[in-house]
Amino acid sequence: MARQRKRKGDPVHGWLAVDKPVNLTSTQVVGKLKRLFNAQKAGHGGTLDPLADGILPIAFGEATKTAQWAMDCDKEYVFTVEWGTSTASQDKEGEVIANSDVRPSREQIEAALPGFIGDIQQVPPKYSAIKVDGERAYDLARDGETFEIPSREVTVYEAELVNIPDTDHATLRVVTGKGFYVRAMARDLAQALGAEGHVSQLRRTRVGALDEASAMSLDQLEAMADDKEALLGALQPLETVLDDVPALDIDASDKALIKQGREIVLLPHLIEQWRAETDDDPDNRLAITLCDGVAVALGEVRAGRFKPSRVFQI
């Protein structure tokens, strides 16, 4: 029998809210932190462009099994639109493709924003990671290919004008669901106002429950390099990104059964607790079980039983 190769590094588990600086890719940040924590496994919960800064959720170990929830949860952005020029990439690095002398007023911007709130149709930027016929859109765009990306429905919960620092710039804040592109909103807002514009500055201020108050910079984390206990203390439990998933406390015997991939029978009070915390969607049966405050598994509640689908090896 072939021996299983031992994974390099330490078994580190949990989420870390990193305040990513500009000019670093999300993948570069993951690499730096994986080395810093000497972690066996690490990934991120939603890409942040190199030109953007702010909250980048980093998943370590078993937390990577919950990365999809971080990608799907609500996000908050604060961004600045620079009027006068539109660029191919809708940010300041792209080639200028149009110019205009139009400078929208505060009243005009505020009047246009309600049209960007709710379930709206949005065409992702051509310089994006969207796949078109199996190819990344940004690769096709860089090669000068002609192609179209279909619109898709995205949700915007809030959109407000924060500040107009000068006539050439406007700073806005949005709270959005998954799949939303700030650069596409800047493009569409400029078009709605009869102007040209692109994103000159972008900051993500929140991803679900991970926000600026809980975030740490790379410099702060690297200063802890010789203090492993302090580094591990910066981690948040993997259920942090599952704040809308009902949590059920189980005992050690049920934990042992779940670790074997088996269903458990839920006590009546746990079923009532789950019903009280779940939403009105009858198809949403999701729950997470914890034992002594440590996540055991994600799974579904059906007919008074919990059936695990993702078991956490912590």
Strands (E), the chain: 14-20, 42-44, 53-60, 75-83, 85-87, 96-99, 118-122, 131-132, 135-136, 152-166, 169-176, 197-207, 210-211, 216-217, 247-249, 264-265, 286-291, 294-302, 305-311
Q: Is 126 helix (H, G, I), strand (E, B) or coil?
A: coil
Is 74 assigned a catalytic role? Answer: no
| Residues 254, 181: Cα–Cα separation, whole Å | 43
Q: Which two tokens stand for residue 15?
A: 């989420």
Q: Which two tokens stand for residue 137?
A: 């859109």
Q: Which two tokens stand for residue 121?
A: 């149709």
Backbone angles phi, psi at 182, to 5 degrees: -60, -40
Cβ–Cβ < 8 Å for 314, 295: yes
| Residues 8, 42: Cα–Cα separation, whole Å | 12
Strands (E), 113-151: 118-122, 131-132, 135-136
| Residues 69, 244: Cα–Cα separation, whole Å | 10
The catalytically annotated residue of 19, 49, 53, 254 is 49
Q: How many other β-carbons are positioned within 10 Å of the β-carbon of residue 209?
A: 19
What residues act catalytically? 49
